[in-house]
Each structure stands twice: as C-alpha cells, then as structure tokens.
Amino acid sequence: MTNPTASDKGSNPNNQPTPTSDEYQNPDYQATDTAASVGGGSFSPFGAAVAAATNSQKIDISRIVWKGSPNHWVGRDNQKVVAICNHIMQGTMESTNGWFKNRRSEVSAHFGVAKDGRIWQWVRVPDAAWGNGIPENPDTSLDWLVDGLKGQVNPNNLTVSIEHEGNTGEAFTEQQFQSTLWLHKYLITTYKIVPDRKHIIGHYQVSARSRANCPGKGFPWQRLMNELAGYQSPAPEPVPVAGPVSSNTNPVNSLVDMKWIQGVPGVIISDLGTRTVNTNNAYVRTKPSLSGTDGTLLRVLPKSKTLRFTGYTEAGPAFRGSMRWLLISDLDGGGWIHGSMVG
C-alpha cells in the first residue's frame, strides 16, 4: 500500500464483472475471528506442516482469519497467479482492515501479516485484489509482467498481494517474518509459484514512482529468499485424462474454496479420496452444524451417493460421540458432512 490517498485498482480493460455479492451480508463471507490464535508461540510446527505438505498434501490453513473486502474483481480474467507481490501497510492491521472494508478506497490485498504473526485475508486467491494495478516504470526484467502489460493484463490478475503491518523502513518482528514465510510457502505450494526473486516481488517493481518505498528497506528480502531457496513447489500435475480424477493426483489444495474453511476450527486440507454416503437424507452443510434453523443446510444426499473429499476437522459439533466432519470436494459441490454419514 504505502499511499492510502490513491487507488491501486488500475484499469480494467477487459471489463471484468465487479463484485455482485456484498461480503457484509453473505454469511459465507462474514468475518470470523474463531481461528486458533497464532500469536506469540513457536512457529516451528507450521514450518514442519509445510515441509510435510509437499509429501502428504496436508496444510493446516485454519490460522488464516477471513476478513473480506468488497474491493476486488471476481475471477482473474482467465489469467493465473504467477507471482507474489509484497507490501507494507504504513499502518496497523486494524487501520488497514478499515481501509480495505471501505468501498471508496478502491484498495485491497489478499492477505495481511501482523507484527504478532496473525494472518488476515480480505480477498479469495481466485479473485483479483486491488493491490498493485498501476504500472509506473515497471521492472522490465520481469517477463511475466512485461508480457502481461503488452496484452493489457492488469498486474492484479497475475499476483497474490501480501500486506505487512508496520511502516516502511521498520524491521520485521520474528513472528511476522515466520508468518509471512509460512504464507509464502503455502502460496508457492498451492499455486505453483516459482520461488525466486522474479516471482516474489515488491510493489515498487510494479509502481516504481509512487510506490518506491513499498515494502521498503525494512523488508527482509535476503532472509526470505534464503529460506525459500531450494523450496520446491510441487511437480506439475499430470495432464488429466478423460474420466474420473484419480484421487492421488488431485490438486487438492487448489480445489478448496476458502468459504468452506473460514470459521471452521481445526481444518486439515487432505485428499481423502472417494467415499460413499451410508445413510438416506444425509445433510450437507456450509459448515459443521447440527442446527435445523441456522441456514447452513446446503442439500440432502441419498444413500450410496459417491463423493470426493478434500479435508476434515476433528473439532466440529459432536454427533453420536464423534466431532469428525468431512469436507466435500468442490468438484462434487463442496460443503460439510458428518463423518458418521460416510462409509
């Protein structure tokens, strides 16, 4: 960010739809503060989780707290994420949250990382945040950016934006560094971003004039890139063939919409393969719930329906003595079902 007097939205040459849903009213997008606290503790477990992720595809993303911002485009105009763009807030998490919630600011980012290690999210990664859309003397060594600009692609369609609490020139706290390292690794793994300095950039490389100090001299480029050096993004997925997707080649993380995750404690994203409903009238819900009146009911499935599953929690509301709920793949419509209803 660094200059909260001007938009980082940029031009919209291909006329993407602007958001139609209002995050403040859609229950799937309401802010939740129920994720496990991540402040102050040791962060080594997260590093271990990410290291394990490249082998087992398990990443605990329940530490990311959804906030939501109306300032974004839906989708990425048929572009894919190729880079991470880092920013400094020139303020606090709270002040930035207020600014991103304000439609008139026309500014947002996907994520924010606090000095105490908290991670907040305002825009779904499949959507384009308004973080770095004004090219001014862009870094011409970035081929993906140059090629995109030639094709009138707004840089916001190619990037995931991460804001960082604090002011330009300030050093990061250890918690802040560890959290942004974790977030970088998560995004590199999930969106297959190349972990080098051409694909992990600063706002100043898009907007060299007005954003020259974003993220500024305090940003730990050298340490971050040292930690990411040799960090392997997963091998490219095999080209899918016709027919059912084999469970062990599912790009499981990229299929999970954040709306299923936010506010649900203890979610583990993991490819559970295919399972069958073992009871009639099995309720599928927007989040684990036993209520008949809270609006979480999505649909009802018949016995013997086969579904793919992409995650679970052991911390849902207990039913028949079990707190285990399973997350249905978005390939099969998404939603949560109690573990006892699946064989």
Q: Restricting to residues 261-300, which ones interact with Zn ion according to CB under 5 A? A: none
The distance of closest approach from Cβ of residue 77 to Zn ion in the complex, given in angstroms and rounded to an integer, is 21
Residue range at the interface with Zn ion (CB under 5 A); choices 116-124, 176-184, 208-216, 295-303: 208-216
The distance of closest approach from Cβ of residue 193 to Zn ion in the complex, given in angstroms and rounded to an integer, is 18
The distance of closest approach from Cβ of residue 5 to Zn ion in the complex, given in angstroms and rounded to an integer, is 13
The distance of closest approach from Cβ of residue 98 to Zn ion in the complex, given in angstroms and rounded to an integer, is 17
CA atoms of 277 and 288, how far apart (whole Å) = 17
134 SS3 class: coil
Distance set, CA 207 to CA 131, 137, 303 (Å): 11, 6, 56
- Applying CB under 5 A, the site for Zn ion has a residue count of 4
Residue range at the interface with Zn ion (CB under 5 A); choices 29-37, 209-217, 244-252, 322-330: 209-217
The distance of closest approach from Cβ of residue 130 to Zn ion in the complex, given in angstroms and rounded to an integer, is 11
Distance set, CA 1 to CA 8, 93, 175 (Å): 8, 12, 21
In eight-state DSSP terms, residue 82 is -
- Binding flags for Zn ion, 90-119, as an x/- string (CB under 5 A): ------------------------------
Dig out the tokens for 334 from the structure.
């998404």
Interface with Zn ion includes 63 (CB under 5 A)?
no
Interface with Zn ion includes 203 (CB under 5 A)?
yes
CA angle 109, 113, 114 (to 5 degrees): 130
The distance of closest approach from Cβ of residue 81 to Zn ion in the complex, given in angstroms and rounded to an integer, is 17
Write down the number of H helices and E strands in the chain.
5, 14
Q: Which is nearer to Zn ion, 72 or 87 (CB)?
A: 87
Q: Which is nearer to Zn ion, 2 or 79 (CB)?
A: 2
Q: Which of 38, 162, 214, 326 binds Zn ion (CB under 5 A)?
A: 214
Contact 27, 295 (CB under 8 A): yes
Interface with Zn ion includes 87 (CB under 5 A)?
yes
Q: Can you tell me which residue has the tokens 């909260």? A: 4
Q: Which residues of 85-106 are buried (b: 16+ CB within 10 A; e: fewer)?
A: bbbbbbbebeebbebbbeeebe
Contact 340, 319 (CB under 8 A): yes
CA atoms of 277 and 343, how far apart (whole Å) = 6
Q: Which is nearer to Zn ion, 35 or 93 (CB)?
A: 93
Residue range at the interface with Zn ion (CB under 5 A); choices 207-215, 268-276, 308-316, 333-341: 207-215
Q: Point out which residues bind Zn ion (CB under 5 A).
A: 1, 87, 203, 214
